[in-house]
Amino acid sequence: MELLSTNVSFDGEHRRYRHTSATLECTMEFAVYLPPVAVGPDPQRVPALWWLSGLTCTDKNFMEKAGAHKKAAELGIAIICPDTSPRGVNLPGEDDSYDFGSGAGFYVNATEQPWAPHYRMYDYVVKELPQLLENELPLTDKRSISGHSMGGHGALICALHNPGRYASVSAFAPVAHPTECPWGQKAFKGYLGDDTAKWEEWDATLLIPKATERLPLLIDQGTEDQFLETQLNPDALVEACKQHDHPINLRMQKGYDHSYFFIASFIDDHLNHHSRALGQS
């Protein structure tokens, strides 16, 4: 891990790192916020909230815009922000559109060429990066996970696929039923191929019936989100949860859109939700 920069923030530290990922076969950058108790001469190990960002984002969007550091410092929780895709692997078409390729890894393990050797963001955020950071930084093995839009989809599938790995899960405006929306269909066809049966294991709504752990879902969704009707489909997820007695709290927030103003307005609620599950409050 190469330390790129560090900033003091609410008496903790915001750090940016670079490393070479064996899973993605490229160099990746990511950010970590360590609360005050985890820095200094006698750092304590703390649990971590993993934040998965949305289309076109990097680690910088959440760390600079969400206003999460103050509450994380108070609660004693680290925040980890991976990137949203491999970078600079020079695949044909990787930079042609905002919703596929660079910045749009969709947190799946690609099986189609030329994407399969690199676009394995699921394994990266669930396996490789946690193992690295829990070995190198003052982190416990207690984790929660959250995210926004494409990253909300990622948070949900990571939690649903890995019972016991995360203490809690939440999402802001997640792509809740990607097999039935243009963003998801484009990404899944490109990364996973034409067999739609293979897409189902990456769709939170379709994973609910098979879930072996009923981890409560906290979801915030803005009523004025420009993608609500065409891409996000939270009602399908709610219906699946109702049918299978999976606890879900979908909060429709009047007047809010898809932006980081929305995330910043409710991030403290989510941090408190995760803190309780992690035993920090």
**Each residue's pLDDT expressed in tens, for the chain with a length of 281 residues:** 999 999 999 999 999 999 999 999 999 999 999 999 999 889 999 999 999 999 999 999 999 999 999 999 999 999 999 999 999 899 999 999 999 999 999 999 999 999 999 999 999 999 999 999 999 999 999 999 999 999 999 999 999 999 999 999 999 999 999 999 999 999 999 999 999 999 999 999 999 999 999 999 999 999 999 999 999 999 999 999 999 999 999 999 999 999 999 999 999 999 999 999 999 86
What pLDDT, on a 0 to 100 scale, did the predictor assign at position 190?
97
CB 105 within 8 A of CB 153: no
**CA contacts within 13 A on the Cβ side of 247:** 9
Q: Is 97 a catalytic residue?
A: no
| Pairing mode of beta strands 217-222, 169-172 | parallel
Choose among 229, 227, 222, 228: nearest CA to 257: 222
Q: d(Cα 31, Cα 5) in Å, to the nearest integer?
A: 9
Q: d(Cα 49, Cα 197) in Å, to the nearest integer?
A: 31
Q: d(Cα 149, Cα 196) in Å, to the nearest integer?
A: 21
What pLDDT, on a 0 to 100 scale, did the predictor assign at position 281?
63
Return the amino acid letter for 42.
Answer: D
Q: d(Cα 63, Cα 148) in Å, to the nearest integer?
A: 13
In the set 9, 102, 144, 149, the catalytic residue is: 149
Q: Is 149 a catalytic residue?
A: yes
In the set 14, 69, 246, 258, the catalytic residue is: 258
On whether the pTM is more than 0.75, the answer is yes
Q: Is 225 a catalytic residue?
A: yes
Return the amino acid letter for 143.
Answer: R
In the set 85, 153, 225, 270, the catalytic residue is: 225
Domains recognised in the chain with CATH numbers: 2-278 (3.40.50.1820)
